[in-house]
Amino acid sequence: MLSLTSSEGKLKAPRSRMTDTNLLTMITIVVFVAMYLYAYFALQQGFTKPQTMLNIISTNAYLIILACGMSLVMITGGIDISVGGVTALVSMSCAVYLDMHGGNVYVAMLLAVGIGLAFGIIQGFLVAYLKIQPFIVTLAGMFFARGLTTIIHTNPFNVENKDFIELKDSRVTLPDFLGSYTRKGRFIPATIELGVVVALIIVAVLFVVLKWTKLGRNFYAVGGNRQSALMLGINTQRTVFVSHVICSLLAGIGGFVYFMHVGSGSPSHATGAEMNAIASAIIGGTMLTGGVGNIIGTLFGVLSLSLIQNIVSSVGLDQAWWTGITIAAMLCIFLVVQSIIIARRKKTNMKLAASKVPKPKEASS
Amino acid sequence: MPNNSKVQPPKAPLWARLTKHQIIIPIAALLALALFNLIADPSFFKITLNETSNGNKVLSGNIISIIDSGSELAILALGMTLVTAASGGQDISVGAAIAISGSVMLRVLCGSDSHSATLQAPIIVALLIACLVSMAFGAFNGALVAFFKIQPMVATLILFTAGRSIAAWINNNELPIVNDESFGYFGNYIPGIPIPTPFLIAIVCFIVTWLFMKFTSISLYVQSVGVNEKTSRLNGLNPEFIKLMTYVLLGLCVAIAAFIKVSRISTINYSVIAKDIEMDAILAVALGGNALSGGKFSMSSSVLGAYVIQFLTTTLYKFEVKATALPAYKAVVVILLVVLSAPTVREKLARLGKKLKKSKPAGQAA
């Protein structure tokens, strides 16, 4: 976890110190582990069984995928708030296609990916090449997706396509040591949904892309400082475009994963998913200013967010409003901590830089 | 906004001055919408004098309903413009904040009994307390933005997530109903005045803001902080305080908007009240031609932008678009407007125009 990243076009501390990205990720992971240990030892109930955590992951597999795409856009210095709308649109169109037109499951998957790509290409073009604010473009994208969802079909309904039900109910069985025994001593193997596998593959691929490919480094460079990135010869417009395409593509895939989990179409699906995705990315150490972020952090951001919801409801604060208040409090603490850490680091970095200059010039800013 | 006077050589001084000003964007959009309605159905503009059930004569018609229901948005747009100009970001928590201050207002008015027949406190007291609470939440947002240097959208995400929950918590998830008739005046009509009260409140707010801007240098300070924070600090301003102040002022606008919203129905629904209004308020600022990255701003353009959005909404309702499908059409219009006003697109169009002009005389000479 030590400083592998040193090409972010930023003033760097000596190699032995952690980068901002890694430090923020570490904080998130530590907080998650602490919360889990608290739940395990203090609350017990279901938390001692691995299956409880696996269920939480299964429910939030789609959010992991959305948050990954969101982190990518945020690292590049933009934002995409259309992901929740795309998720709802994908689940509704797949549901209508499978149920009312007797569609094929594989074509439905293509449909999901296609919707994501279409949103990505249009939004990416508007943001990257016409230089319209990403917030406005994706806001319109969200409105459009939500509106289109109700135009396709107004009422929620369950899908009864046979192939799809089979796909929906299929589970991946994990190794025996994660399983548990019922009171009668019957062994229940631990299982996860297919969506989790998809989510983990995406996390792994994005991690590799961000860490070791030229494209990945470009995302950081463009987000860190667009002007310097341009001067280094990076095609900034194309980088921004690609980040939006990937984000919406992931929203399409995430939409299908969500659809596999709920098995129905409804205009009110995934309400507020975009805000949860942004919150997870921030808790995971991605900064909206761009240039700082880590996919592993985002993964733990989603897990922390969903774990705390479960903890809150199991300690007895089960009134609906507590969930919202806890998430907000958590977000607030993380943001303030991040801001303090970054401010302190900037100061020390400046001191370091000043000490290296033979004749220290007066600090003007 | 880059001024487009370079693009269009001034033919008449007034025209040149108008096209130079950013207010041209909402005016053009408004004219386009009005023209569209005029062609599609001229009766859209009909205004009639009707009598309500309690013998009160009021104006009614599509135009009246636009200026009536666009008022909250216009009031929010005032504050949102300031926040956008100073901090280069937007407050996405206004909808949630409206729920909170509406909830506070009802809590004060109804006391502990949620269905009391009489008011437990005068309306003005409830309004003042709601203003204070709302300004405190504004100060919370502002402090995160100004002192902790968190991006505005992220900082306000906190209140966005928690706001409706806090609103429900204040009233213990009950839905208090105000039974006093005079409370409803502020969201509907005052007996004897045929114009909807929300519009009058919006006008008062606008005039107060205008005078405030006219006789203080706030507007200049806000602009300079938005354009360059470091330079304005070197010039002796306190950027943190000015940012904080804009958020507190937005809090005040939120409280007034909440007052109208709650008064309209004399009760509150925490999850539905002012839903998506933050998006509309930001759109109003963008439609007004204000740069969302901060700097120069024009209040009147934003207010006009707010009414354009309401005009669009009412027009779509007129064509029997379902309320749930409304966002899709809105999105298309917004994208069209934003694309047309994007600097790169404008430059390209201008270049195209110049080419056409050049090629014409050349063709004639040949």
pLDDT digits (tens, 9 = 90+) for B32-71: 888 888 888 888 788 888 777 666 777 888 888 888 889 9
A140 contacts B325? CB cut-off 8 A? no
pLDDT confidence bin for B244, thresholds 50/70/90: very high
Residues B173-221: tens digit of each pLDDT: 888 888 888 888 888 888 878 888 999 999 999 999 999 988 988 889 9
- Higher-confidence position of A363 and B358: B358
Give A51-93+109-157+195-346's CATH code, choosing from 1.25.40, 3.40.50, 1.10.3470, 1.10.10: 1.10.3470
- Mean of pLDDT values over A125-135: 88
A329 contacts B144? CB cut-off 8 A? no
pLDDT of residue A342: 77
pLDDT of residue A348: 80
CA distance A331 to chain B (A): 6
A143 contacts B338? CB cut-off 8 A? no
- Higher-confidence position of A92 and A161: A92
Per-residue pLDDT at A13 exceeds 50: no
Say which of B148, B329, B335 has its CB closest to residue A147: B329
Out of A149-153, B75-79, B314-318, give the one with best mean pLDDT. B75-79
Q: Which residues of chain B lie closer than 8 angstroms to A127, CB-CB?
A: none
Residues B8-22: tens digit of each pLDDT: 554 556 666 666 677
A137 contacts B165? CB cut-off 8 A? no
- Mean of pLDDT values over A68-74: 94
Average pLDDT for chain B: 84
pLDDT confidence bin for A109, thresholds 50/70/90: very high
pTM to 2 decimals? 0.80
Q: A-contacting residues of B 308-337, CB under 8 Å?
A: 322, 324-332, 334-335
Residues A296-335: tens digit of each pLDDT: 999 999 999 888 888 888 877 667 778 788 888 888 888 8
pLDDT of residue A3: 43
- Higher-confidence position of A363 and A90: A90
- Which H, E and C letters describe chain B, residue by residue? CCCCCCCCCCCCHHHHHHHHCCCHHHHHHHHHHHHHHHHHCHHHHCEEEEECCCCCEEEEEHHHHHHHHCHHHHHHHHHHHHHHHHHCCCCCCHHHHHHHHHHHHHHHHHCCCCCCCCCCCCHHHHHHHHHHHHHHHHHHHHHHHHCCCCCHHHHHHHHHHHHHHHHHHHCCCCCCCCCCHHHHHHCCCCCCCCCCHHHHHHHHHHHHHHHHHHHCCHHHHHHHHHHCHHHHHHCCCCHHHHHHHHHHHHHHHHHHHHHHHHHHHCCCCCCCCCCCHHHHHHHHHHHCCCCCCCCCCCHHHHHHHHHHHHHHHHHHHHCCCCCCCHHHHHHHHHHHHHHHHCHHHHHHHHHHHHHHHHHHHHHHHC
